[in-house]
Amino acid sequence: MGTQKSLRKLKHPAFRYLPTVAFLIGFLCFLLATVGCASSQPGTPPKTIRVMTYNIHHGEGVDGKVDVDRIAKLVLDAKADIVALQEVDRGVERTKRIDIMTTLSDLTGMTYAFGKTIDYQGGDFGNGFLTRFPILEERNLLYSVNRGGEQRGLLQLLLDAHGEEIVVMNTHLDFHEADSERVYCTNEIRNAARRYVPRPIIVCGDFNDEPESRTVAMMQEEFTDAWEKVGRGAAHTHPVDSAKQRIDYIFFSKAVSQSESASRLMLQPVSAWVLPSRASDHLPLLVEFELATARQ
């Protein structure tokens, strides 16, 4: 009896709209749930790049052996995306005429670039890059000052990193006690960098000067020392057996005004390491960056 009464009640005209109302309520709940989920979910993972700088001493380790394979293994183990190398031989007698950059490229599967600075023992000597990113532009600047030492240079690449244009530079400055040549070359680095603004710029290399030097102070006028932002400890990179000098650096460009755009791409260092290795007389420095878009 009670069941029949309930069934008759369901025949009331008002109940004809229940399916529509239920559908609308359900759809509204779905929308609210979707919005809620979207707002609570973490955003797209940040785009990261790992940058290494390493004076490889033409591939000769502290054991006196030239071994390019162990340098390649170090790069792969570090999961580096961009590697700036100094003291690179190509077709040089002391390294059995091998082309170190093409060899490293084959061993790591990375693209390479080489910037010659001098002729040496029947071959070439200079700076090199390994990168996992497409190279859009390549330049090699030979510094205009040379006070009786080796010619030095600045290898520059414009890269497509995760769909964004970034600039990386690689240098090896002279080691003389007087710093006049290093200071002059540092000014040339800053001038070269200005042509790439407002793109993010990373400058790597063996600067042969300590953090309190005039050379580093000049770099810090327009760049930030990544180690000072996120590194821990002294970051001594030379010599390997009794590392007490901090002369290898990774700098990145400071934020610049960009009135013509509502946003700009920026580099944010998140971690830094000095890696253990006996493959050279220097230790490699590795910095991980996030690529972020900052609103004006």
CATH code of residue 107: 3.60.10.10
Confirm if 118 and 126 have CB atoms less than 8 A apart. Answer: yes
Residues 35 and 130 in one domain: no
Question: Does the pLDDT of residue 222 top 50, yes or no?
Answer: yes
Whether residue 144 is found in the same domain as residue 239 = yes
> What average pLDDT does the chain have?
87
Same domain for 127 and 15? no
Please indicate, yes or no, whether residues 21 and 77 belong to a single structural domain of this protein: no
Is the per-residue pLDDT at 39 higher than 80?
A: no
95 and 30 within one domain:
no
Mean per-residue pLDDT for 52-71? 98
Lowest mean pLDDT among 35-49, 145-159, 245-259: 35-49
pLDDT, position 202: 98
Separation of alpha carbons 64 and 295, rounded Å = 52
Task: Specify whether 233 is located in the same domain as 187.
Answer: yes
66 shares its domain with 34: no
Query: Are residues 62 and 209 located together in one domain of the fold?
Result: yes
Q: Please, how many CA atoms are within 13 Å of residue 20, restricted to the half-sphere of its CB?
A: 4
pLDDT tens readout for residues 72-94: 999 999 999 999 999 999 999 99
Q: Do residue 129 and residue 14 come from a single domain?
A: no
User: Do 89 and 73 share a structural domain?
Assistant: yes
Range of the domain at 168: 48-295
Place of tokens 């990193």: 161
Number of domains comprising the chain: 2
pLDDT surpassing 80 at residue 296: no
Q: What is the residue type of 279?
A: A
Spatial distance between the Cα atoms of 218 and 216, rounded to a whole number of angstroms: 5
Residues 192 and 136 in one domain: yes
> Residue 8 — very low, low, confident or very high, per pLDDT cuts 50/70/90?
very low
257 and 181 housed in the same domain: yes
Q: What integer pLDDT is reported at residue 293 of this predicted model?
A: 79
**How do 153-161 and 135-142 pair as beta strands?**
antiparallel
